[in-house]
Amino acid sequence: MRRIDVHVHGWLLLLPAIAFLALFTHWPAVATLVDSFYSTPRGSRPARFIGTDNYAVMLDDPVFWQSVVNNLWFALGTIPVSIALAMVMALWVNDRLAGRTWLRTAFFTPTVLPMIAVANIWLFFYTPQYGLLEQVTGLFGLPSHNWLGSRDTALACVILVAIWKEAGFFMIFYLAALQQIPPSLAEAAALEGASRHYYLRRVVLPLLMPTTMFVLINAVINSFRLVDHIIVMTRGGPDNVTSLLLFYIYEVGFKFWDTSYAAALTMVLVVVLGLVALAQYAFLEKRTHYQ
């Protein structure tokens, strides 16, 4: 009876978290999956079961495929650069240098700013003729350029904003991981005559692999869920060149009011993120070293 009481007490403690998880995560996911097999109700016309028609429409939707390609380029541009920059910043501020507290604060400040505020700040930087970037390029006699209005530079500008926003957030995890590495390892490496580069490559980086796996998964998720800065800066333009998958879902669901098609797009996004997460675990778990 005592053992049963312990289990009942444990499940009662977990009940609030389970209820919130089921109510705000599992139930919406199931409802979205069900809605993707129905048509969107219009006025007095109720929703009707249409099977996989929404998914069939998706295969012939050029904007959907362009959004997928844009999102892949966005992920390739933000994930490796953000992680590498975060690791470099963490290694830098982890050393004993003057003003490292101020450096940590400066690197982390973009993280605490709302994305809407960040987007408006960078919108001023990119403004043609009188923006900050235009003032800098004007010093070198370069002509004015519409950075967010050009197909050649719009997506790169959005990628730069995301990197500036996320690198400081990832830096905190790397900094915490670096401070957990025993100093005795560095002392032993120094006694053996190992160079700093060798110690970093053979000791520090392998010990940072659990943090890297965590950061990588978060970076992938973030690369597919950022939408607010797109709304503020480009609204998917020009000519859908900055339309990411979640932004397209937002447009379909809340601008065109095709909620069923938006549900189908959402399920594709969920499946893609799930497969990417599983692939990351399968690939990185064998290369992860735990202390």
Contact criterion met (CB below 8 Å) for 211 and 177: yes
Give tens-digit pLDDT for 144-181.
Answer: 888 898 888 999 999 999 999 999 999 999 999 998 88
> Average pLDDT, stretch 71-92?
93
* Domain definitions of the chain by residue range: 61-287
> Average pLDDT, stretch 85-113?
86
> Average pLDDT, stretch 71-99?
90
Give tens-digit pLDDT for 259-290.
Answer: 999 999 999 998 988 888 788 777 776 666 65
CA-CA distances (angstroms) from residue 33 to 30, 76, 255, 279?
Answer: 5, 28, 21, 23
- Most trustworthy range by pLDDT among 40-54, 63-77, 197-211, 268-282: 63-77
> Average pLDDT, stretch 106-115?
88
Give phi and psi for 98, each to the nearest 5: -70, 135
pLDDT at 34: 93
Q: What percent of the chain has pLDDT over 90?
A: 40
Following CA atoms 48, 53, 55, 56 in sequence, which dihedral angle do they give, to the nearest 10 degrees?
Answer: -170
- Most trustworthy range by pLDDT among 106-110, 161-165, 221-225: 161-165
> Average pLDDT, stretch 72-93?
93
Whether residue 245 has pLDDT greater than 80: yes
Whether residue 3 has pLDDT greater than 90: no
Give phi and psi for 38, each to the nearest 5: -120, 160
pLDDT at 200: 86
In angstroms, the CA 126 to CA 264 distance is 35
* 100 or 171, higher pLDDT: 171
Whether residue 75 has pLDDT greater than 90: yes
Give tens-digit pLDDT for 18-61.
Answer: 999 999 988 998 999 999 999 988 877 888 999 899 999 999 99
pLDDT at 104: 85
> Average pLDDT, stretch 192-209?
85
pLDDT at 287: 64
Tell me how crowded residue 97 is: count the other CB atoms within 10 A of its CB. Answer: 9
CATH assignment, 61-287 = 1.10.3720.10
pLDDT at 286: 65
> Average pLDDT, stretch 223-242?
88
DSSP secondary structure string for all residues of 2-69: HHHHHHHHHHHHHHHHHHHHIIIIIHHHHHHHHHTTBPPPBTTBPP-B-TTHHHHHHHT-HHHHHHHH
pLDDT at 217: 87
Q: What percent of the chain has pLDDT over 70?
A: 96
Which residue is associated with the tokens 């032993």? 188
Query: What phi-psi label fits residue 195: left (phi over 0), alpha (psi between -120 and 50 degrees) or beta?
Result: beta
Whether residue 70 has pLDDT greater than 90: yes
- Average pLDDT score over the chain: 87
Whether residue 114 has pLDDT greater than 70: yes
